[in-house]
Amino acid sequence: MDGTVRPSSALAFDVRRVRQDFPILSTTVHGKPLVFLDSGASAQKPRAVLDAMLRMMETSYANVHRGAYHLSEASTAAYEAAREAVARFLNARDVREVVFTTNSTAAINLVAHSYGRGVLKPGQAVVVTEMEHHANFVPWQMLAQAHGIELRIADVTDAGELDMADLEAKLADGKVGLVAVTHMSNVLGTVTPAARIAALAHANGAKVLFDGSQAVVHRRVDVQALEADFYVFTGHKLYGPTGIGVLWGRMELLDAMPPFLGGGDMISEVTREGFRPAPVPAKFEAGTPPIVEAVGLHAAIDYVSAIGMDAIEAHERALVDQAMAKLSAIEDLTLIGRAQDRGGVFSFALGNAHAHDLSTLLDRVGIAVRAGRHCAEPLHVRIGHDSTCRASFGLYTTHEEVDFLAEALASARRFFT
């Protein structure tokens, strides 16, 4: 059990009906229908999210937690309702364990600063992996430089999976205080065995943080089943707005951590001599929070929950199977990673064509993919590619779009030959 729920059979999923909820998908690019295959960077937004945010601004917007008047109370209720929605979505045991940030990067930096400097001691170690996004790599490098923490990096196998034997070896001396690992790679699509990682970390006296930025989009996540200590994700990949992210942490850990930022709403009392922080979660939410964005995230969670994460996962698994077969058949195309458990993210290289040239060529026929190192330079060094193209699926991706991508790549191969 890895903390995710898998469908036992194909579930009804009407992707054409779903696509009607996303206004941008009816647009054209260079006179061609838009084929948006960059949801791993930032997903498109359904009308339910757009409407909820507009309605909030038109009818009940005010600052939260500070006003004894109707609009402020209504705005506060909407903001806190979003926190409750996140808690249900992750199966948090206490709504106060949900801290709003601006994105996953901010959430990881919060843990690196507050838990890293406030709880971890110099001489302890943090373990990350070769497949991490820079957001789950650089904050720990900064902590190592400033706080005397040793940074250890677990290997990735040639198949693009986490080398569990190497991870175990890096934990064996008992000096590791925290393991910080992606739940799903934004480059390889690899889904890591999160529950096994958590069990291994705990057996060796370490806590564990999962970067769920990709995973929560593609499958159901239960932080209790995972036995996670921290879990982060960002709203804009989950069909919500930018500017809103989530840190979930176990209450006893959050209580032990000092504040990250200082200012309004994170204090209980301020005197000339000092201050007393507010309880969790307010302790970590300094300043005016992302109020409208939280409402948008709530709408996005309601949207995917109404469809059903099991149905979404079943749809995307079918797309993954199709893409593996289609892309593997293209001559001179190299698929990066062959993990047994993977989500709808595919990075690839085509012969000697530069990723940016290939991406530009695909754009001319309406296909949007990402090109570059995908904020994962150490992983690209490991796989031996300076840059790659990446196609990433959303719940609105169709089988016809996967076919069209394969046809366009076959055509591009002839172009670059």
- Cα–Cα distance measured from residue 210 to residue 90, given in angstroms and rounded to the nearest whole number: 13
Q: Which of 85, 367, 375, 389 is catalytic?
A: 375
Active-site residue 389, yes or no? Answer: no
| Cβ contact 300:46 at 8 Å | yes
- Cα–Cα distance measured from residue 285 to residue 262, given in angstroms and rounded to the nearest whole number: 9
- Cα–Cα distance measured from residue 219 to residue 328, given in angstroms and rounded to the nearest whole number: 24
Structure tokens at 216: 């929560």
Q: Which residues contact 339 (CB under 8 A, 6 or more apart)?
A: 159, 160, 161, 188, 189, 190, 191
- Cα–Cα distance measured from residue 88 to residue 94, given in angstroms and rounded to the nearest whole number: 9
Considering only CA atoms, which of 182, 174, 168, 173 is closest in space to residue 206? 174
- Cα–Cα distance measured from residue 88 to residue 220, given in angstroms and rounded to the nearest whole number: 11
Q: Residue 79 corresponds to which amino acid?
A: Y
Q: Which residues contact 54 (CB under 8 A, 6 or more apart)?
A: none
| Cβ contact 76:65 at 8 Å | yes
Q: Is the dihedral of CA 21, 314, 107, 136 positive or negative?
A: negative
| Cβ contact 99:249 at 8 Å | yes
User: What are the phi and psi torsion angles at 388 (to 5°)?
Assistant: -140, 165
Classify residue 369 by burial, with Cβ atoms within 10 Å: 0-12, 13-18, 19+.
Answer: buried
- Cα–Cα distance measured from residue 386 to residue 383, given in angstroms and rounded to the nearest whole number: 9
DSSP string, 255-302: HHSPPSS-STTSEEEE-SS-EEEPPTTGGG--SS--HHHHHHHHHHHH
Q: Which residues are catalytic?
A: 375
